C-alpha cells in the first residue's frame, strides 16, 4: 500500500508540474500576444503622430509662405502708394509754381501799366501807391509760395517776413488788404501765414526795443 500511495503521489506531482508548465505556457502566449498587440498599437500611434506632425509642418510652411507673400504684397503696395503720393506732391508743387509764375506775370504787367493796375487792384489809391501795393503783394506771394512748395520752413518764413514787415509801405498794404484775407479758409496755408503776419506786425508795433530781429515767437509747424 505504501508503495502504491508513493507511486500515486509521484504521478500527482508530475501532473501538477505539467499543469503548472501548461499554465505558464498559456500565460506566456497570452502575454506575447498582448505585447505584440500593444507594440502594434504603439507603432500605429507613432505613425499617426508622424503623419500629423508632417501635416502640421506642411501647414506651418504653407502658412509662413502665405505670410511672406502677404508681406511682399503689402511692401509693394506701400511702395506704390508712396510713389503715387510723391508724384502727386510733385504735381501739386508744379501746379503751384505755374500759378505763381502767372500771378507774377500779371503783377509785373499791371505795375508797368497804370490802366491795367486799376483792373488788377481793388484798392482805391493813387497810381504810385497802387504800384507799390502790387509790388508788396508780389513780395508776399513769393515768400508764401516758397513755403507752400517746401523751399522754406514756417520758422524760416517767419524770419523773412519779420524783415519785410519793417517796411512801412508793406504794413500799409497789409492793412489795406485785410478785408480780402477775411474770406480765406481758416485752415489754408495762406490764412495761417496771414495770421502770422498779423501777429508779427502787432508785436513789432508793441515792442519796447529797437532790436526788431528778436521780436515775435517763431511758430510751431
Successive 10-residue mean pLDDT values, the chain, 221 residues? 49 60 59 74 80 81 81 79 76 75 77 80 86 92 91 91 92 93 90 93 80 70 68
Q: In this predicted structure, what is the pLDDT of residue 97? A: 80
Kindly report the pTM of this predicted structure: 0.58
* Angstrom distance (rounded) from CA 28 to CA 174: 114
Residue 35 corresponds to which cell in the numbers above? 505585447
∠ CA 146-147-148 to the nearest 5 degrees? 95
Q: In this predicted structure, what is the pLDDT of residue 15? A: 60
Find cell 504684397 and name the residue: 73
Alpha carbon separation from 117 to 25, 130, 137, 170, 217 (Å, rounded):
127, 7, 13, 17, 36
Instruction: Name the phi and psi angles at 154, rounded to 5.
Output: -65, -35
Alpha carbon separation from 77 to 80, 81, 91, 128 (Å, rounded):
5, 6, 21, 57
Half-sphere exposure of 68 (CA within 13 A, CB side): 6
Q: In this predicted structure, what is the pLDDT of residue 4? A: 47
Half-sphere exposure of 219 (CA within 13 A, CB side): 20
Query: Is the separation of the CB atoms in 140 and 181 below 8 Å?
Result: no
Q: In this predicted structure, what is the pLDDT of residue 77? A: 73
Amino acid at each position: 500500500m505504501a508503495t502504491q500511495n508513493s507511486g500515486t503521489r509521484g504521478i500527482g506531482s508530475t501532473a501538477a508540474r505539467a499543469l503548472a508548465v501548461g499554465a505558464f505556457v498559456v500565460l506566456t502566449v497570452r502575454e506575447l500576444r498582448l505585447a505584440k498587440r500593444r507594440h502594434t498599437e504603439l507603432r500605429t500611434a507613432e505613425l499617426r503622430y508622424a503623419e500629423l506632425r508632417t501635416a502640421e509642418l506642411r501647414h506651418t510652411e504653407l502658412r509662413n509662405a502665405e505670410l511672406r507673400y502677404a508681406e511682399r504684397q503689402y511692401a509693394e503696395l506701400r511702395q506704390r502708394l508712396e510713389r503715387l503720393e510723391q508724384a502727386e506732391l510733385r504735381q501739386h508743387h508744379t501746379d503751384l509754381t505755374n500759378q505763381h509764375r502767372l500771378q507774377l506775370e500779371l503783377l509785373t504787367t499791371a505795375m508797368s501799366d497804370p490802366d491795367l493796375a486799376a483792373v488788377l487792384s481793388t484798392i482805391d489809391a493813387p497810381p504810385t501807391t497802387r504800384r507799390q501795393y502790387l509790388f508788396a503783394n508780389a513780395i508776399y506771394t513769393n515768400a508764401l509760395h516758397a513755403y507752400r512748395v517746401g523751399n522754406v520752413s514756417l520758422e524760416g518764413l517767419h524770419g523773412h517776413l519779420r524783415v519785410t514787415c519793417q517796411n512801412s509801405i508793406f504794413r500799409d498794404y497789409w492793412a489795406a488788404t485785410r478785408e480780402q484775407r477775411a474770406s480765406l479758409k481758416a485752415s489754408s496755408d495762406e490764412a495761417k501765414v496771414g495770421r502770422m503776419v498779423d501777429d508779427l506786425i502787432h508785436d513789432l508795433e508793441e515792442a519796447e526795443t529797437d532790436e526788431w530781429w528778436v521780436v515775435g515767437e517763431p511758430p510751431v509747424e
